[in-house]
Amino acid sequence: TALADAALWYWPLDTAGGSVNFIVLLNWTVMILYNYFNAMFVGPGYVPLGWAPEKSQDCMYLQYCKVCQSYKAPRSHHCRKCNRCVMKMDHHCPWINNCCGYQNHASFTLFLLLAPLGCIHASFIFVMTMYTQLYNRISFGWSSVKIDMSAAKRDPRPIIPFGLSAFAASLFALGLALGTTIAVGMLFIIQMKVILTNKTSIESWIEEKAKDRIQYYQTGETFIFPYDMGSKWKNFKQVFTWSGIPEGDGLDWPVRDGCHQYSLTIEQLKQKADKRVRSVRYRAVEDYSGVCCPVTKGVKTFFTTPCTEEPRIALSKGDLILATRGLKHWMYGEKILDSAADGGIRERGWFPRKCVEKCQYDSEMDQPMDGEKKSR
């Protein structure tokens, strides 16, 4: 819409200013689409199936992915949407239908920068187009304002008159452009904050949980994020390079002094063990189909459904669930299947709190749960 407004009504292309304005707008469009499709089709990079560290003794520091049949490399995480372990995973983005990670982090961030800049330019064109086209059409009376959209009073007259449909399209596009500028601009700021500390969104959350774990158990230890190079410029160069290819291979990473390659993965293993200790066992007392907004579980449960892409799990009366976190009317946990004792997979997701009740005894320990396990 901005290209049409600029070419037809705002600034004639036969002038130097109009040509420059149109070329700059076209340049925004090309760069935005290039980085968008680059982030989409290049992808984040995946840990090779069956991957294991060169030294077998290093396997003790890593988590094993049963789906990919490989160890999770440092900074990698398994994505349920992509069904693969993603190198340096930041998050799964539905707008590119792919994960943001090691290979496409720079392209994704450039898209987040260029889209608001292009929309700011487009918003200026929309405002100026409507102003210049409506300036001679508006007449003010004592108690009314009249707009004559029948003919243009511009010399020379444009090839295509600026009619009511063009005005509506420009006004609607202006709203989209302003909304995109605010929303995508905020995402860009969030991404730059984590990039300048050489983290991902997931790693920032891991660091917060590390502080919480240390404070909860009063261990006295200090967690140091191993991949922060000590300066924002060095951290910036870990993602953005002149060649467009990020540094490293996505499996091994440079670390700061006093840390080693598996400092973060060791902390993840500690948090995983802590999660098992803090989890509380519940038993399902009502059936739950696994729908996002259950109508039969109460009005509050219906309207307070978690706003997240995490799945829901269906429950049948008598099912056992290990709950790890929860809201007022919802809980998140793992459903223990019959094969869980043999190393089977557990289903994870949200379920209504009113569908379960806390087990009084742990079937494995045969002791009251309250004495040994704590919930947040």
| Residues identified as active-site | 93
CA dist., res. 115 & res. 24, Å (int):
13
Question: What would the DSSP string read from start to end of 107-162?
Answer: HHHHHHHHHHHHHHHHHHHHHHHHHHHHTTTEEE-SS-EEE--SS---SSPPSS--
Strand pairing class (280-284; 145-147): unpaired
Provide the Cα torsion 188, 325, 339, 320; round to 10°: -150
Q: Is 129 left (phi over 0), alpha (psi -120 to 50) or beta?
A: alpha
SS3 state at 182: helix
* Cβ atoms of 115 and 50 closer than 8 Å: no
- How far is it, in rounded angstroms, from Cα 333 to Cα 320? 10
Closest CA to 105 of 290, 246, 248, 313: 246
